Amino acid sequence: MRQANICGDNLAFDAVIVGGGPAGSTIGTLLARNGLAVAIFERERFPRFHIGESLLPANVPIFDRLGCHDAIRQAGFTVKPGVTLYDEHEGRACKSFTFPPLPFQPASAYNVVRAEFDDLLLRHAEQVGASVYREHVVKQMHRESDKVTLQVQVPDGHLHEVQASLLIDASGRATFATQAIGTREPLPGLGKVAIFAHFRGMKQEREVPEGNIRLYLVPQGWLWRIPFAHGVGSVGGVLHAQVVKARSGSINALFEEILAASPHLTDALASAQRLTPVHTAANFSYRVSPFVADRYVAIGDASGFIDPVFSTGVFLAMRSAELAASDILRAFAAQDFSARRFRRYSRRLRRGTRVFLPFIERFYEPAFLDLLFTPVPPWQLDKPVLWVLSGAAFEHRPLWVHLGLNMFFGIMHMRRAVRRFRGQSAASRRSW
């Protein structure tokens, strides 16, 4: 693949996309396929390490629509049939959940090595006609009534000016354009810190389906293990802010300490070697407002990020790109790039994302975990919950799912009261 450099190229495009992650590649593919002149500027040299490796079943039909599912299958990513929870805080043992097969999505997702996955998606965008500029950093933007102008730093350090009718911010947690256009606020109670790395040589637990993501609840927060092929996997922890504040040692020492908090994970890692440096991320839960404006649309993490616990990030990044693409194509047809053209996208993204929020808030509550760990859930209430956690409820919320969720949260409320009555802890650990 040609390594594009903007020196010598045409410096005017219909749309310029800042960021070549899943959101940027998805929208680049869709707009280029519909005949727009699109440039994707990505500051990193690909392939590059990225966190966010466990996908949802709702991601899979997007691969079909983009036309890259065969390439994803051929890449040999591990199939993820479900999730296994280990409670090593209150000692509720281990429970596995399997995604349901639905008419519009399969009963499984993939665990992906993001370096390979993001590279594959970006190459796909290039193959369908997007101009992709790697190691090009978008430095500044200026919106005018008839165009957007960007300053782009090329690999030799020089700055070039690029113009477009529309700017799409897909810059992830960098939220490139937020300072110029709106605000970014942290989500209350979710000021967590994550520490993570890849390992080789992890042991397979006998009681757990091979591709399941494992979540381990420990007093300091929660840990994950995302299995890739050949005993390689991603391991990390999301820590309560108070745990991090109380520590003064190195990040590596803290990482070892929290891994040791889980006997199951410690056992799985007994003969494993770390493959990557230990990475960290902080303050990753935030809201961006507004995420559409005149000649401007933000998608993926650049439009906000809720929490990593239910692996929603890549799905929301790619689905937001699809929803935005549909409004953007209409805006080009009408040659009208005012904010109101993108309001339908903004409404649909807000509505779809809202369904995950009660789960993220309640994940930190013991009463929620009581219900999840019930061996036989009353009235099969695990079904509407899995419907949401597979990503299906972003768009499809039949009445039984709606009623089931109300009932689930109603029972959880009662369970909370029972805990208090018995003198057990009922307090949420979300803001710890």
- List residues near ligand FAD by CB under 6 A: 18-24, 41-44, 50-55, 137-138, 170-174, 176, 194, 281, 284, 300-302, 305, 308, 311, 313-315, 317
Q: DSSP secondary-structure letter at 310?
A: T
Q: Which is nearer to ligand FAD, 19 or 404 (CB)?
A: 19
**Closer by beta carbon to ligand FAD, 319 or else 416:** 319
Smallest separation, CB 202 to ligand FAD (Å) = 17
Residue-wise DSSP of 365-381 = -HHHHHHHH-SS-GGGT
Query: How far out from the chain centre does Cα 77 lie?
Result: 17
In the numeric block, the tokens 């790697």 are attached to 134
- Tell me the closest approach of the beta carbon of residue 316 to ligand FAD, in angstroms: 7
CB of 323 to ligand FAD, least distance (A): 13
SS3 of residue 210 by DSSP:
coil
Q: C-alpha 338: how far from its chain's center?
A: 28
The minimum distance between CB 411 and ligand FAD, in angstroms, equals 28
- Taking CA atoms, 58 is separated from 93, 124, 209, 285, 305, in Å, by 29, 20, 20, 22, 18
Strand partners, 236: 196, 224
Backbone torsions φ then ψ of 277, nearest 5 degrees: -60, 165
Tell the smallest beta-carbon distance from residue 6 to ligand FAD (Å). Answer: 12
Nearer to ligand FAD, 122 or 261 (CB): 122
Report the residue number, 137 or 405, with the smaller CB distance to ligand FAD: 137
Q: Where are the beta strands (DSSP E) in 271-339?
A: 273-274, 279-282, 286-289, 292-293, 296-298, 304-305
Give the nearer residue to ligand FAD in terms of CB position, either 102 or 197: 197
By beta-carbon proximity to ligand FAD, the closer residue of 20 and 366 is 20
CB of 340 vs ligand FAD, minimal distance in Å: 24
